[in-house]
Amino acid sequence: MISLDDPKVLGSERVVVIVGASSGIGLATALMLAKRGDSLVLAARGMNSLEAVADRCSELGARVTLVQADASVAADMRRVVAAAYDRFGRLDGWVHTAAVMAYGDMTDVPTEVTSRVLDTNVMGVVHAAAAVLPEMRNQGFGTFVVTGSLLGAIATPLMGPYVTSKWAVHGLVRVLQIEQRPFAGVDVCLVSPGAVRTPIYQAAATYVGRHGSPPPPVDKPDKVAAAIVGVLDRPKHRTSVGMANHLVVTGFRLLPSVFDVLVTPLVRRLALARGDVPKTSGNVFESQTSNRGGNDEDEQQRVTLSAQR
């Protein structure tokens, strides 16, 4: 395995792409890498939010290139790769955090919404891998990091599209890891957090009459970002982030009948916010910050950026 901080291999400057850099885990990772002096290629659907992140990363001393891109579009992922090589001449790491979510019974969520969740969360990784892994193989080094989820190892009701997508992502990453074995110096890594305080819950599509909410215990994005940075430095196939993850997965696997009885009331009580809301597709089809004023995603971004000053 090649470490991104090995000067004998990569020199003092590192180049890292972050897809989904405008908020949440991607934003926290961008700021953490910027503080370390890495050069960044930041990609997301919403350019307004992305520019705010870029400004802060630049203040921290990073060289930054922006690409407005949708992970569900293969050509966009190829443009991100091209931007990295055009600006910096190489690509040392790729962090893929882009994801969307939908709440509701599987039979209540419109099929086009479920399809788009799968396109973004699963095909986004497929498109990214197809774009960047051949380049990393050609140059002989690189680390491809994908954010999975605790929900890629268990099943919960009312989050079916997201759960389905994360199970697929976990399987996909395992396949990529096996296929990558002949290519020394290139690593594929999975970082799987539990609940994290990010905008994805409030921004999600919902057909259950309430917004989502991260169930306890809830980690800050910085904790997951630190794990991602650690994996970039010292590649590791699987990393779990969350104090309750192991316990929950163990219960799901060893006590399935008990788990199935308890999980629905627990999700309704702990994973849904209070207050009635109308049905909405949320940010599934387009960024909620790309062409509008303030909302919850903007506010959480401002809080994160302010905390890093």
CA distances from 141 to 94, 110, 113 (A): 12, 42, 37
Give the whole-angstrom CA distance, residue 133 versus residue 130: 6
Q: What is the DSSP letter of 167?
A: H
Which one-letter DSSP state was computed for residue 123? I
Whether this model's pTM surpasses 0.95: no
pLDDT at 10: 41
> What pLDDT was estimated at residue 1?
46
* Strand bridging mode 142-147 / 186-193: parallel
> Which residue ranges of the chain lie beneath pLDDT 70?
1-12, 289-309
Distance CA 143, CA 102 (A): 30
> Would you say 73 and 210 are in contact if contact means Cβ atoms under 8 Å apart?
no
Please confirm, yes or no, whether 162 is among the known catalytic residues: yes
Instruction: Given the residues 103, 162, 201, 207, select the one marked as catalytic.
Output: 162
The domains of the chain, with CATH numbers, are: 11-300 (3.40.50.720)
Q: What are 237-280's pLDDT values in tens digits?
A: 999 999 999 999 999 999 999 999 999 999 999 999 999 999 99
pLDDT tens sequence across 186-227: 999 999 999 999 999 999 999 999 999 999 999 999 999 999
